[in-house]
Chain A
Amino acid sequence: MSTAAMTTTHSSAVAAEGAPLLEVRDIRKVFVDRDFQTPVLKGVNFTLQRGEMVAMLGPSGSGKSTLLSILGTLMRPTSGSFRMQGRELTALREAELSDFRNQQIGFIFQYHHLLPDFTALENVLFPHAGRLWRETRAGRERAAMLLERVGLRDRMNYRATRLSGGQKQRVAIARALMNQPALVLADEPTGNLDRENADQAFALMTEIQRETGTTFLLSTHDRELAERCERRIYIAGGVVVDQPQPAASVAAATSARPSMRVITGDVPAVIDHTGQSGDADRRRA
């Protein structure tokens, strides 16, 4: 399936479902260390539709990881709001957030972060069994199915430490999908892999996104991978900025200093909360 065809199909699905999966409004984050205040996010606004695969680009220190941590409910914003599936997440208590995270959000990190004392199967099963406090047959079957899907059926009983880097990252992808989350947040998921493994891992995520309709938000410095996503969000200086054409824009965004804003042509400087502007829209048009 071509990218255009996939986007069209996906867009239809999005249109049918209506409401966006994630709405981020004026999220701000200020880190306070004694007398020093460091504003990292200065009012982030954007929207993710269901089933999208969106790349988030920006220079180091622009606030991408902080934003992913906030969206993943691992960190609370200083102000602002974000709603996922119609639920205001800033209002939830810690235990509720933990439960929500378990069932609605999957994480893929740059470093696989597998639990070394557990097998590949147990690592994938962990989010499910940890929530229920027990292993179930259905859970084990799903974990095995996911490992098969990422091409590691024959390695499912291997300890995490016995797997190669690429294999570990594929286990991490399977683990992120274990509880059938609505959103997968990937922080530099291919940043620790060589080109071949990076391409394989990305292809795998793309295929799974197409098959399952799971929304992916990927933070990456890899321009090639970002170009293969349906849409890109650029962060610079703690805000979301719009970006024009792929190659040049990604290069500009990834090299931009935190204080820079990349504003091009007649597109809006800051993507509006519907997320309908940007090159995904232009592609649809």
Chain B
Amino acid sequence: MRFDLKVALRYLLSNRLQSALLIGGVAIAVTVFTFNAALINGLAEFQIDRVVGSSAHVTLEPAKPRPQLVPAADGAERLVVSQGANERRAQIKQWRTVESVIDTLPGVTGVSYNILGTGLVTRGELSLPVSLKGVEPARLAAIAPIDANIVEGEPRLGLNDVLIGRKLARDLGISVGQPIFLTSSQGRERSLTVRGLYATGVDSLDARLAYVNLDTARVLFDLPEGLTEIEIKLADIYAARAVARQLADSTGLEVTAWMDKNQRLREALEGQGSSGSIIKMFTLITIIVGVASALLLTTFRRRPEIGIMRSFGISQRFVLSVFMLQGALIGVIGSLVGCFLGWGFSTLLAGLGAESGRRLPVDPSLGQYDVALLLAAAASIAAALWPARAASRIDPVEAISQ
């Protein structure tokens, strides 16, 4: 064992109460750090999951037509009035080509080829507007876990089937197995059977969105070939922007990542992240102040001993190293204990309320233990620097005469 390490350990063990308090202080700060990280990150994941979990990470839509202007004659002033091209349905006609591009992408966990449109559901005298989503039956749950959200009936989409939200069913006063009459925005009409009711917990979806078979949607919206939307789900949701850029470049479609579709969520997460960073910064400051003040006191108490060491030719570097090592040991041991406590505390809280379904959004796996360990150890070493330098510069004659 290095002799400076032995001396540092001996000093720490000689005043066990002070060392225990110091290590305890660092451990508590690291516990706060890691628990805070587990809570903030867990909360962020929870929010993201609530928003993004049942929606696409990357969405491809038809490119918006950008009309080219005819060159104006010299000196002529050009006045332009722009209007959306209403006369043409925006659709992705060559979606099979896009499909082959998507198939080459790594990290894609699900794809859904959709036709979106609007219509009216009529039952007796009652008419309600609905959003219709035509999907391939096999890909029904590729994006949103509709199959898991079915509360009545079954997640099946035959050509004459429709899945509607529980709230819409209540509003219409119907249940599974009953027919509804549907009129699309294209004026096509069709009678469909309610095959299942779902409940996502989001009222706007449960009251408005109806799933139909993709082929049924083709008929309803006069789209025999094309699609209006392709949705992609990724294993790494934070890769969405990069994937979106890549797809936009290779397909020429309008491609949007989830974070660009959810500006408010992003702002909320950034705000949460900043709050978490401030708390983490204060815990680090607590570590630095605590360790520095305690080591400074130790240095003062050991002045005569340091003077003696210097008198028999122990170098300033050795003295510096002894006190730096004390700081490092306090930091590393305290951080390890703190990480363990933080993980334990997070796990305990994450488990509470699991039975009642009111679980705290704490994720013990997101405690940033490696960051906490590194930062706390670095903070302790930095905190030890001042006392250690003071110790190494002690005048031996003055110290011995104390």
A133 to B3, CA, bound (A): 5
Chain A's nearest CB lies how many Å from the CB of B307? 8
Q: Is A101 an interface residue (CB 8 A)?
A: yes
For residue B309, which residues in chain A have a CB less than 8 angstroms away from its CB? 115, 126, 130
One digit per residue, 1 when the CB lies within 8 angstroms of any chain B CB and 0 when it does not, for chain A 128-152 equals 0111111100000000000000000
- Contact code string A88-103 (vs B, CB < 8 Å = 1, else 0): 0000001100111111
Question: A232 to B311, alpha carbons, bound, how many Å?
Answer: 24
Question: Contact between B312 and A115 (Cβ–Cβ < 8 Å)?
Answer: no
Cα(A28)–Cα(B88), bound, Å: 104
Complex contact B312–A126 (CB within 8 A): yes
A103 touches B313 (CB 8 A): yes
Chain B residues closer than 8 Å to A216, beta-carbon distance? none
**What's the nearest-Cβ distance from chain A to residue B327, in Å?**
18
B11: A residues at CB distance < 8 A: 117
Say yes or no for A46: interface residue by CB 8 A criterion.
Answer: no
CB–CB A99/B315 < 8 A: yes
Q: Which segment of A3-11, A56-64, A104-112 sits at the interface? A: A104-112
Q: Are the C-beta atoms of A98 and B3 separated by less than 8 Å?
A: no
Is A69 part of the binding interface, using a Cβ–Cβ cutoff of 8 Å? Answer: yes
Q: Is the CB of A130 within 8 A of B308?
A: no
In the bound complex, CA of A278 to CA of B239 (Å): 91
Which listed residue (A75, A100, A106, A126) contacts B397, Cβ 8 A? A75
Q: Which of B310, B313, B318 has the most CB of A within 10 A?
A: B313
| CB within 8 Å of A: which B1-46 residues | 1-4, 6, 10-11, 14
B316 in the interface (beta carbon within 8 A): yes
Residues of B contacting A176 in the complex (Cβ-Cβ under 8 angstroms): 312
Contact present for A95 and B316 (CB under 8 Å): yes
Is B314's CB within 8 Å of the partner chain A? yes
Contact-size category for B: 20 to 34
Would A102 and B2 count as touching, CB distance under 8 A?
Answer: no
The closest CB in chain B to the CB of A131 belongs to B313
> Which chain B positions have C-beta within 8 A of A116?
14, 305
Pairwise interchain contact A115-B400, C-beta atoms closer than 8 A: no
Measured between alpha carbons, how far is A146 from B315 in the docked complex, in Å?
A: 23
**Closest CB in chain B relative to A68 CB, distance in Å:** 10
Query: Hey, which chain A residues are within 8 Å of B2, CB to CB?
Result: 133-134
Query: Is there contact, CB below 8 Å, between A117 and B312?
Result: no
Residue B316 contacts which of A94, A109, A126 (CB distance < 8 angstroms)?
A: A94
Cα of A95 to Cα of B309 in the assembled complex, Å: 14
Residue of A whose beta carbon sits closest to that of B393: A94
Residues of A that sit less than 8 Å from B by CB: 69, 72, 74-75, 94-95, 98-103, 105-107, 109, 113, 115-118, 126-127, 129-135, 175-176, 179
13 pairs, A vs B, C-beta closer than 8 Å:
A98-B314, A101-B313, A113-B308, A113-B400, A126-B309, A130-B3, A130-B309, A131-B314, A132-B3, A133-B2, A133-B3, A134-B2, A175-B312
